């Protein structure tokens, strides 16, 4: 079984978006996917790309992907944030994820990153087991925080009124 890893092209975003939707189903949150293929083409391949994407192919069919981007730490400098690795369900356990993760590591080193970061859900034991094989540091000290677009707009409006 020949699997190749390569940098994604705009035409790959339909298949990549399909994998994202498959992941959302697995994580029991399909309604949370609001990103579109057009958004991904604009954001990944437009004038100022904000992410990088690798795809795994077998027999000219995309079976996995990894999306990552540059982050910056005041303490550590340039880092890479791996947003997701997704392998289609029928190909899990066949080293596709390892090939993708290893290539993200290679790309991170090429880009001069001092760290590689990612998150994993605490109930996703297969993923935790996978990352433990790499002797990854699992951090239980930090709490993830976020604001939605709706929240940011509301706060900006409130700040204008003050």
pLDDT (0 to 100) of residue 1: 75
Q: What pLDDT digit, counting tens, does each position of 82-139 carry?
A: 999 999 999 999 999 999 999 999 999 999 999 999 999 999 999 999 999 999 999 9
**pLDDT more than 90, % of the chain:** 94
Specify the pLDDT at position 162.
Answer: 82
Q: What's the pLDDT tens digit per position in 28-85?
A: 999 999 999 999 999 999 999 999 999 999 999 999 999 999 999 999 999 999 999 9
Q: Is 96 exposed, middle or buried (0-12, 13-18, 19+ CB in 10 A)?
A: buried
User: What is the reported pTM?
Assistant: 0.92
Residue 25, pLDDT score: 95
Q: How confident is the model at residue 161 (pLDDT cuts 50, 70, 90)?
A: confident
Q: What is the set of active-site residues?
A: 131
Burial class from Cβ neighbours inside 10 Å (0-12, 13-18, 19+) for residue 51 reads: middle
**Residue 155: both structure tokens together:** 């706060």
Q: In what order do the strands lie in the sheet with 52-58?
A: 4-7, 52-58, 61-73, 77-87, 115-117
Pairing status of strand 77-87 against strand 61-73: antiparallel
CATH topology of domain 4-161: Aminopeptidase (3.40.630)
**Domains of the chain, residue spans:** 4-161
The rounded radius of gyration (Å) of the Cα atoms in the chain is 17
């Amino acid at each position: 079984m020949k699997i190749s890893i390569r940098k994604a092209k705009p035409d790959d975003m339909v298949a990549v978006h399909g994998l994202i939707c498959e992941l959302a189903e697995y994580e029991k949150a399909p309604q949370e996917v609001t990103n579109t293929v057009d958004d991904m083409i604009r954001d990944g391949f437009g004038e100022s790309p904000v992410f990088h994407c690798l795809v795994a192919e077998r027999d000219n069919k995309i079976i996995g992907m990894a999306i990552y981007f540059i982050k910056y730490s005041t303490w550590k400098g340039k880092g890479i944030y791996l947003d997701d690795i997704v392998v289609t369900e029928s190909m899990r356990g066949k080293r596709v994820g390892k090939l993708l993760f290893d290539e993200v590591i290679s790309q991170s080193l090429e880009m001069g990153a001092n760290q590689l970061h990612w998150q994993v859900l605490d109930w996703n034991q297969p993923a935790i087991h996978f990352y433990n094989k790499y002797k990854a540091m699992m951090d239980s000290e930090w709490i993830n925080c976020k604001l939605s677009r709706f929240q940011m707009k509301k706060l900006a409006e409130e700040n204008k009124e003050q």
